[in-house]
Amino acid sequence: MQEFIFIYMLYALLTYAVLLLTSGVNIKGRQSTYLVFFLIIINSLIACLRPEQVADTNMYNMAYDTSVSIISNLTVNSVSDLFANRSYYSIEIVYIFFMSLFRSLFKSPILFYFVSGLLSNALILYGLTLVNQYLYLDFQKESEAKKQRAVIQTYCIYVLYSGIHYTTVAIRSGLAIGLGLAAIGLLLAYKKRLLSMILLVLACLVHTTSILFIGIYLIVRFFPVNLSKKSIAILWIVAMGGYFSNIARYTTMAAIRMVLGLFSILHINAFSSYITDLEFVVQMREGYIMFFIGLFLVITYLPNKRINKLALIIIVGLFLQTFAYPIHALSRLVDIFTIFLIPIVCYSVSNADVKYLNRMVLYGTVFLLVPQYVMIFGR
């Protein structure tokens, strides 16, 4: 396990070095594509060698070994079973089917872990790149070097923030988030509503908690806002104040009782385990994330109607953390909202006038690695 941690920390520092070294360099042609592809391959190769001590590894190994048998004997009575049935190792049926495709050919799960990491990294990068394109719609004449550099920065910041976690531990969530980000990116950049909805459905089939992307979809389509840097700072402080004052202790239980009653009426069991395992203890890790996410958002925010939409998504994520932190599954999936900070940072760094401040933001991204390390290796 120690060797695995050491290798991954070296990889994280490598991506951080790439982020800094390429920030002031003109990238030509497809150099950024080759470099990012190389980094994704390394990430996936390390992940496929995960030791059993890594969280959830034993569960995934057992599910992989029995996946062919599960699918062979499975009876699907309705479409809802594909979404709500998590009776096998608490894993969605569609993901077990994905496993069975590899298990029918390979006894070892190594190739499955490699492909899973490859897909999640590629999809998340694709989705975030589409969001980058959306921010640059008003700047069609932006230099190719700047666009190429944005791809590298996007992937490197993602790795520092949550890329190791979603490649190594939360592999279902990583794939689902990749599909969800691709859906939102296609909606923002190209207005492809039908394809976006198809990808959202696929994301929910892979991981049921991806239903949160539907909320993001609604924000993007129907909630135009006009935020200022001052209002964002106030909302950030309010969210953090609510979190550290443990306000959820007084508000969350009533909401959970209502939700459980609704699930009972609809005969849904997919989320029950998520919202009954509660712990009303304020965690410094989540507070640390809220602090740096809000700080980076305030520093890099620019008055732009497109950035406004992304900023609103991030603010919603911060308040979700404030009120839903006792629900571990929702607390982990705040990343679905806050990951939209990455395109804002990349856009701001390449366009703002205060260059020294942008440089400090890039240097500061290394602090995002701390909570990710605690989440994966600090258990």
pLDDT tens, residue by residue, 307-363: 899 999 999 999 988 887 777 666 667 888 999 999 998 888 876 555 666 678 888
SS3 75: coil
Q: CA separation (Å) from 278 to 274, 318, 326, 328, 352?
A: 8, 19, 5, 7, 43
Asked if 178 and 202 count as a contact pair (C-beta separation under 8 A), the reply is: no
Q: How far apart are CA 80 and CA 205, in angstroms?
A: 10
Phi, psi of 172 (to 5 degrees): -65, -45
Global confidence as pTM:
0.88
Q: Which residues contact 127 (CB under 8 A, 6 or more apart)?
A: 178, 180, 181, 182, 183, 184, 185
Q: Decide which of 165 and 249 is more confident.
A: 165
Residues 6+ positions from 52 with CB-CB distance below 8 Å: 58, 61
Cβ contact 132:102 at 8 Å: no
228 neighbors 303 (Cβ within 8 angstroms):
yes
More confident residue, 282 or 120: 120
Element containing residue 41 per DSSP (H, E)? helix 31-47
- The confidence score (pLDDT) of residue 378 equals 58
Q: Residue 58 pLDDT more than 90?
A: no
Tens of pLDDT, residues 23-54: 777 776 677 888 899 999 999 998 888 877 77
Residue 53 sits at the vertex; the CA angle it makes with 118 and 98, to the nearest 5 degrees, is 35
Count of residues in the chain: 379
Type of residue at 261: G
Residue linked to tokens 């509660």: 278
Is residue 20 very low, low, confident or very high in pLDDT (cuts 50, 70, 90)?
confident
pLDDT in tens, 104-141: 998 889 999 999 999 999 999 999 999 988 887 655 55
Query: Which residue bears the tokens 């950024």?
Result: 32
What is the band of 368 on the pLDDT scale with cuts at 50, 70, 90? confident
Q: How far apart are CA 173 and CA 200, in angstroms?
A: 13
71 strand-pairing partners: none
Q: How far apart are CA 54 and CA 198, in angstroms?
A: 33
Instruction: List beta partners, residue 278.
Output: 327
Amino acid at 99: M
Both tokens of 171, joined, read: 């592999």
Q: How far apart are CA 177 and CA 206, in angstroms?
A: 9
pLDDT digits (tens, 9 = 90+) for 188-205: 988 888 999 999 999 988
211-257 pLDDT per residue, tens: 888 889 888 888 877 888 899 999 999 999 988 888 877 776 666 66
pLDDT reported for residue 266: 57
- pLDDT on residue 326: 72
Closest CA to 66 of 23, 96, 32: 96
Collapse the DSSP code of 265 into the 3-class scheme (helix H, G, I; strand E, B; otherwise coil) and give the result.
helix
316 sits in the region (left: phi over 0; alpha: psi -120 to 50; else beta) called alpha
The one-letter code for the residue type at 45 is L
Report, as an integer, the average pLDDT of 174-188.
93
Give percent above pLDDT 90 in the chain: 31
**Alpha-carbon gap, residue 218 to 313, rounded angstroms:** 10
CA-nearest of 202, 134, 110, 191 to 342 is 134
What whole-number distance in Å separates Cα of residue 60 and Cα of residue 356? 45
Higher-confidence residue of 4 and 112: namely 112
49 residue type, one letter: L
Q: Tokens for 264, please give them.
A: 């009972």
265 pLDDT band, cuts 50/70/90, is low
- Per the listing, tokens 């007084």 go with 250
Task: Check residue 303 and give its pLDDT.
Answer: 82
pLDDT higher than threshold 80 for residue 82? no
